[in-house]
Each structure stands twice: as C-alpha cells, then as structure tokens.
Amino acid sequence: MASLCVHYVFALGLLASFFNSVHCIVTPPNDEPVMFVFGDSLYDAGNNNYINTTNDFKANFRPYGETSFPDPTGRFADGLLIPDHIAKFANKPEFVKPYLAIKKQNGRFSNGVNFASAGAGSLDGTNAGLVISLKPQLGYFKKVSQQLKQEMGIIKSKRLLSNAVYMFSIGSNDYSTFITNSTLLNSYTPNQYVDMVVGNMSTVFQEIYKEGGRKFAILSVGAIGCVPSARAANFQPGSSECLEILQTLAKSHNEALQKLLKNLATKLRGFKYSYFDYFQSAIDTISNPSANGFTEVKDACCGSGKFRGDPSCGGQRGMTVFELCPDVNNFLFWDYNHPTEKANKLSATLMWDTSPYVTPNNVKSFFQS
C-alpha cells in the first residue's frame, strides 16, 4: 500500500515535509536537477535492505543511523551520507530514495533515484551474488529511463535526464577483493586489473550519456589503505601505518579515472564532470585532523579489535560484542570502513563549492545550470 503524505499549501507554493522512510511523489520543476546515485556503501541509502544478502552488506540495525534517523535506514554511517548532504545543499525536499524501496511501493522516479549497493564493485565478480554491482545498477537506471519516457513523454523526460546530476562512488570493493583473491592476483597485474575496473566505469558512463545524462559527479577511490580495517590488517607492534598495497591501487585507479574523464569530456559533446579527489582529502584530514575538528582519525567510533577495525558494529555480523565511542563528532571513521556523518558532510561541502580537491567543475554548478 502506498504511503500517505500530508501536503500544506501556501500562497507562494507547495511545501512538503517527509521522514526519510516515507516515499512521497514529488515532481520537480522541469528545470530543477534531480539526482541519480550509483555506487557502493558510501552511497547506499538502503537498497541492500531489499536483497537476499548477508549482514556483512547490511546496516539496517542500531547503532547505524542513530545521529540523524529515528530508525536505521541501511546507511553505513551514524547518519547522513554524501548524497544526503548534497541534497540538502541543493534544497531538495527529501533525500534520494533507494530504487528498490520506490519499486516496492509502486512509486514514481521523477524525483531521482539511488541505485547504490553496499559491497558493490565496478566488476560483476566483486561480491557476486550478494550485492548489486555497477552494470546491474545501470540496468535499473535504463528501466527508470523508459518508465519516465512513458509517464512524462519524450520531451519532458529527455529534459529531466539531461539536466540531472549523476553521482558515483565505486571501485573500493574491487581492490579489496583483488588483494585477497589469489586467483585474481595470479591472473592480472595491478595495472591490468585497474584497467578493467575503470573500463567498466567508462562503459557505464557512456551508456548513461546515451540515455541523456550530461552531468557526472565522480568520487575518486579514497584512502582505502587507511581505514580502520586496513590498519588492523597491517598492524605490527609500534606501527599504525596504512596498508600500502591498497594505497597504491587507489592512486593507480584515480590516475586512470582522471584520464578517462578528460577523454570523455573531449569525445562526448556536452559531457561535464566534477571529479572529487577523495583520496587526497582524506590524507590531508588524517595528517591534520584538528583543522576539521577531529581528534581521532585512526580508530573507528563503533567496532572492536585493533583500531576498532573488526566489522562488529551493531553485533549482527557474527561478533556480538563491540565498543561505541562517547562522542562520534570527534571521529573521522564510524565503523571498520566507513566515515561518520560529520566526515561525509565535510566531503560533500568540499565537493559542493570551490575547493582544491575538485576539478574541473564543482557540484553546485550542476544545480545552477
């Protein structure tokens, strides 16, 4: 049964107020950009709640979400994710809903859609059978595109799709899989593997372009060797350094990704992109945490083991005992792999406006044109 929404009509327009868990149909003005979100756990707003997967790839239990939501939503954070903050900066009346939630409620897709899936990779083999990888996310988007054409007509849907902002966070899980899979390590050199990951991304970008997409906001792979789980795996007495093999793979990926985006901007007429150097932003924050109000940038707030790097937050992943920090606002990392809401807001703020980590366009400009 579709959820009911209460609308208050004022003289100057329509104001809608929603809880994140409630789906309401909001048709934006024809020229107001909507958001289509693709990727992994950094962007998943709850799609994995609706698939047959394990709790390793779910976060629909406390203390996840406790900072900003009355109930856990499936977000891998204590609260808001980067796309949520971007939606707030863009004055959206609601956060972008997960595709599978909208589909279950027989809703419409004209206010944007989140396709991201925790654990997803650019490659179909990454966590295969447990997540929605990038190409199936593309398949869902194509279904949405067709439905929009049927509901809105060719002209209006084309305008919506061409004016929309397409957000991506993908790749981290591919490299975590690579270093732990002996078959992959024996079959590909690191450069060959990076080429496959980025090559799949290229295919998806170009397919979205064919559907009308023009404005792409791309998150680089972050400092994945410095997350609490990687530090714990690399730990030796007297050392808390980052896991270098993951750092090297992330740098290679980001170099290849920037080259790809520059080529697409040259090759595809009207293709615009905003590239956020998530890697360097994280390194700078870790090197100087007080500049952004953090006091702890190695340990997670929620978890167990060294650096609280075990995936035990919430006690639902085979480890029932975990620790929870008293003040999450001091922490860069929420759990074994994921940033806090505060850290996500910092990244979104740097993406949104002019910053040394964003090229060649900031995300704000995509909502103004």
Domain residue ranges of the chain, discontinuous segments joined by +: 30-366
Count of beta carbons in the 10 Å neighbourhood of residue 71? 13
Residue 40: the pLDDT is 98
Catalytic residues, by residue number, are 41, 335, 338
The mean-pLDDT minimum among 4-13, 79-88, 143-152, 340-349 falls in 4-13
Dump pLDDT digits (tens) for 57-69: 999 999 999 999 9
Encoding tokens for residue 123?
Answer: 């490659």
Residue owning tokens 């944007």: 112
Residue 26: pLDDT band with limits 50, 70, 90:
very low
DSSP 107: -
The per-residue pLDDT for 281 is 98
Contact 224, 234 (CB under 8 A): no
Domain 30-366, second-level architecture: 3-Layer(aba) Sandwich (3.40)
Using DSSP, state whether 170 is helix, strand or coil.
coil
Each residue of 238-266: pLDDT tens digit? 667 999 999 999 999 999 999 999 999 99
Query: Residue 163 and residue 34: Cα distance in Å, rounded?
Result: 8
The pLDDT of residue 175 is above 50: yes
Backbone angles phi, psi at 331, to 5 degrees: -105, 140
**Kind of pairing, strands 296-300 and 302-303?**
unpaired
Q: What is the dihedral of CA 119, 307, 242, 170, to 10 degrees?
A: 20
CA pair distance 311, 306, nearest whole angstrom: 11
Residue with tokens 């919506």: 160
Backbone φ/ψ region at 74: left (φ over 0), alpha (ψ -120 to 50), beta: left
Query: What is the per-residue DSSP string for 199-235?
Result: HHHHHHHHHHHHTT--EEEEEPP--GGGSHHHHHHT-
In the predicted model, what is the mean pLDDT of the chain? 92
Looking at the chain, list the stretches that DSSP marks H as alpha helix, in order from N- to C-terminal side: 82-89, 99-104, 134-152, 154-163, 172-180, 182-187, 190-210, 228-233, 244-267, 278-287, 341-352, 363-366
Nearest of 144, 222, 117, 208 to residue 176 by alpha carbon: 222
Give residue 236's pLDDT.
Answer: 74
Query: What is the sign of the dihedral through the CA atoms of 234, 174, 278 and 245?
Result: positive
How far is Cα 369 from Cα 362, in angstroms, rounded to an integer?
12
Enter the tokens of residue 21: 């868990």
User: What's the token pair of residue 315?
Assistant: 């006690």
Beta strands per DSSP E along 24-103? 35-39
Residues 6+ apart with CB under 8 A from 73: 20, 21, 45, 46, 60, 64, 65
| Residue 351 to residues 227, 360, 367, Cα–Cα distance (Å) | 21, 11, 13
Tokens matching residue 119: 């654990």
Identify the band that residue 110 occupies on the pLDDT scale cut at 50, 70 and 90.
very high
Q: Report which DSSP code applies to 329.
A: G
The SS3 of residue 128 is: coil
Alpha carbon distance 169, 163 (integer Å): 20
Q: What angle do CA 128, 245, 323 make, to 5 degrees?
A: 70
**Rounded CA gap, 335 and 63, in Å?**
10
Residue-wise pLDDT tens digits, 294-350 = 999 999 999 999 999 999 999 999 999 999 999 999 999 999 999 999 999 999 999
CB atoms within 10 A of CB 312: 22
Q: CA 267, CA 269: separation in Å to the nearest integer?
A: 7
Other C-beta atoms lying within 10 Å of the C-beta of residue 5: 15
For the entire predicted model, the pTM comes to: 0.91
